[in-house]
């Protein structure tokens, strides 16, 4: 499982010219499920994301989590994160979980994350041609692998 996490002032998903979902201040999360990801992988990722201290406290130190501040999170499935760029110039996505299984994992992950964050999770649409807009805050961006 790979995650790209961005601290944002706002983010949105547009599909076919209409806003599908949007958040104000919080995290934009791109999620890639790979072969071998398990329920334990998902649990570990959720624990990390909800506790990730990437928001500043009153001393301007990154010391607060999305859960601490009760902010929103926009979760977007992104299978292209599976390519590591080590071989060739044409991306290969052979490490990605096949679409039906990946969609099941995405739905499972988002449901559990939403429960952990008190219904503050908004979603992209799995498999859709999405246009993602965001204003990165910082910029603060992290790449996580589980």
Active-site residues: which are they?
Answer: 80
- Whether the CB-CB separation of 145 and 30 falls below 8 Å is answered with no
Residue 57 and residue 27 in contact, taking contact as beta carbons nearer than 8 Å:
no
The span from the CA of 38 to the CA of 35, in Å, is 9
Tokens of 134: 């965001």
Taking the C-alpha atoms of residue 106 and residue 145, their distance in angstroms, rounded to an integer, is 16
């Amino acid at each position: 499982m790979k995650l790209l996490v961005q601290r944002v002032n706002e983010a949105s998903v547009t599909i076919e010219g209409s806003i599908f979902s949007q958040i104000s201040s919080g995290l934009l999360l791109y999620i890639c499920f790979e072969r071998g990801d398990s329920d334990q992988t998902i649990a570990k990722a959720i624990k990390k994301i909800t506790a990730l201290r990437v928001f500043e406290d009153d001393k301007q130190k990154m010391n607060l989590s999305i859960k601490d501040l009760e902010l929103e999170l926009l979760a977007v499935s992104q299978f292209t994160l599976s390519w590591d760029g080590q071989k060739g110039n044409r991306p290969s996505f052979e490490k990605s979980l096949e679409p039906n299984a990946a969609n099941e994992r995405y739905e499972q992950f988002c449901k559990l994350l939403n429960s952990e964050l008190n219904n503050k999770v908004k979603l992209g649409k799995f498999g859709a041609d999405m246009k993602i807009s965001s204003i990165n805050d910082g910029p603060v961006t992290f790449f996580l692998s589980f």
